[in-house]
Amino acid sequence: MGIVSINDALRLAQESDLDLVEVAPTARPPVCKLMDYGKFKYESALKARESRRNQAQTVIKEIKLRPKIDPHDYGTKKAHVERFLRQGDKVKVTIMFRGREQSRPELGFRLLQRLAGDVEELGFVESQPRQDGRNMIMVIGPHRRKSEARSEARSERAGRDAHHERGSSRSRAANAVAPEVGAVAADAVAADVVAADVVAADVGGAPADAETAPQPQPAAAASSARRSASSEG
């Protein structure tokens, strides 16, 4: 728009129903812009919130060891260091010297070198071992960033949720089929019982009919009966 007076700039802002915002006060002449200042502040707040959400803050975890640590305790501490590195966090490893141990700093140095070699697949030595009073400190950084670790953790969580949902669906389907199978089995058992009752009735009625029916006579008895009847005649 070029260089205009303040009064003309205010008049243009009022006619456009916008705000006159000074964006470069140190310039000569100062630079102003016509904009909706409320909308500008709202969009700026949204952008700042989105940038904070995507920004991954690196956290420094600390693990403390003794120069003469037990092998089992060393394995536990190493597992913690590996877990922190997988999460994308830095690890500060501190060797604490007590009493006469202060005269043997090489013990702490060898222990730190051993730990760095054991976790080299997950992290690297960001700060070399250095003496700090009665302690020796080393910092191990992760190979991958915090954001990558978070995205991978979200993917694994989504996969577990999907697997759990599929298992629940199969369980619900099995529970829905079970009553139908039970009803069919009950109907089959009832049909078998009815058929058994019918057979039993048939078998039970046969002897009664046999008792009431006329019994056949032997052939000899029938012929003697005919001869008796003819002699009487």
Closest by CA to 93, choosing from 106, 82, 102, is: 82
Q: Which range is least confidently modeled, 6-15, 109-118, 181-190, 203-212?
A: 203-212
Burial of residue 188 (number of CB atoms within 10 Å: 0-12, 13-18, 19+): exposed
30-83 tens-digit pLDDT: 899 899 999 999 999 999 888 777 666 667 899 999 999 999 999 999 999 999
pLDDT for 144 beyond 90: no
For residue 69, the model assigns a pLDDT of: 93
- The helix or strand, by DSSP H or E, that contains position 80, with its residue range, turns out to be helix 71-86
Q: Where are the domains of the chain?
A: 6-54, 60-147
Residues 6+ apart with CB under 8 A from 31: 22, 23, 24
pLDDT for 18 beyond 80: yes
Fold of the CATH domain 6-54: Ubiquitin-like (UB roll) (3.10.20)
More confident residue, 148 or 128: 128
pLDDT for 98 beyond 70: yes
Place of tokens 């802002």: 13
pLDDT for 211 beyond 50: no
Residue 124, CA distances (Å) to 8, 19, 92, 118, 127 in order: 63, 54, 12, 11, 9
Mean pLDDT of the chain: 78
Q: What amino acid occupies position 131?
A: Q
Taking the C-alpha atoms of residue 78 and residue 89, their distance in angstroms, rounded to an integer, is: 14
For residue 56, the model assigns a pLDDT of: 61
Q: pLDDT-based confidence at 164, cuts 50/70/90?
A: confident
For residue 207, the model assigns a pLDDT of: 47
More confident residue, 175 or 42: 42
Fold of the CATH domain 60-147: Translation Initiation Factor IF3 (3.30.110)
Taking the C-alpha atoms of residue 30 and residue 36, their distance in angstroms, rounded to an integer, is: 19
Q: pLDDT-based confidence at 94, cuts 50/70/90?
A: very high
For residue 39, the model assigns a pLDDT of: 92
Q: pLDDT-based confidence at 208, cuts 50/70/90?
A: very low
pLDDT for 173 beyond 60: yes
Residue 107, CA distances (Å) to 48, 97, 229 in order: 49, 10, 138
The mean pLDDT value for 13-27 works out to: 88
For residue 163, the model assigns a pLDDT of: 72
Per DSSP, what are the bridge partners of residue 141? 124
For residue 231, the model assigns a pLDDT of: 47
